[in-house]
Amino acid sequence: MRDGIVNRSARLARQLCLIAVAYFVALNPTTPVVAETGAVPAPFAPFRFLLGRWVANGDQTGATGGFAFAFDLQNHVIARTNYSNTPSAGERPASRHDDLLVIYLEGDAVKADYFDSEGHVIRYVVSANPQTIVFLSDVISGQPRYRLTYRRGASDDTLTGTFEIAPPAKPDGFAPYLSWSARKSK
């Protein structure tokens, strides 16, 4: 019984810490987009190509947006803030989507927690190399599975991304949901 309480307390403390990071990043638009002073943990080295502010290239629907990846908490986390604006079309009103992705180390593993303005929460395990970063959610019975991928572009100031969803009955049957390209903002 005591172990269950300790585990719940540890999870709650972690969630409160992540919420505090979310508020700090959201309320502090001047958060630096380069590494703070101090060493960057080795597992974060492949993420360097993502650091900075990015502008998404518009798509066929006229949607616009942008995102930024920045080290925070003395290089112990990388926070990504993201927004997209979708214009109205036909009966559909214009909308805005905001989200926060906090990337952190848990032991030797790189993990990430995603929160958005629609109330979604996704927990990811992350694999990374200098060209590609893949965020993969766990298999949870009866729920879809998610995969978010960033790929370095042909030049250092471009990248592409995809967000895929697998149905609950086929947790490895990923199908594209969103894709985008972006350029580094000057």
- Residue range 13-51, pLDDT digits in tens: 444 444 444 444 444 444 444 545 568 889 999 999 999
Task: Domains for the chain: give ranges and CATH numbers.
Answer: 2-184 (2.40.128.20)
What tokens were used for 50?
A: 């993502």
What tokens were used for 177?
A: 């949901």
- What pTM value is reported for the model? 0.80
Q: What's the CA gap between 163 and 172, in Å, rounded?
A: 14
What tokens were used for 142?
A: 């009866």
Q: Which residues, in sequence order, are bridge partners of residue 175? A: 165
The DSSP code sequence of 106-122 is ETTEEEEEEEETTS-EE
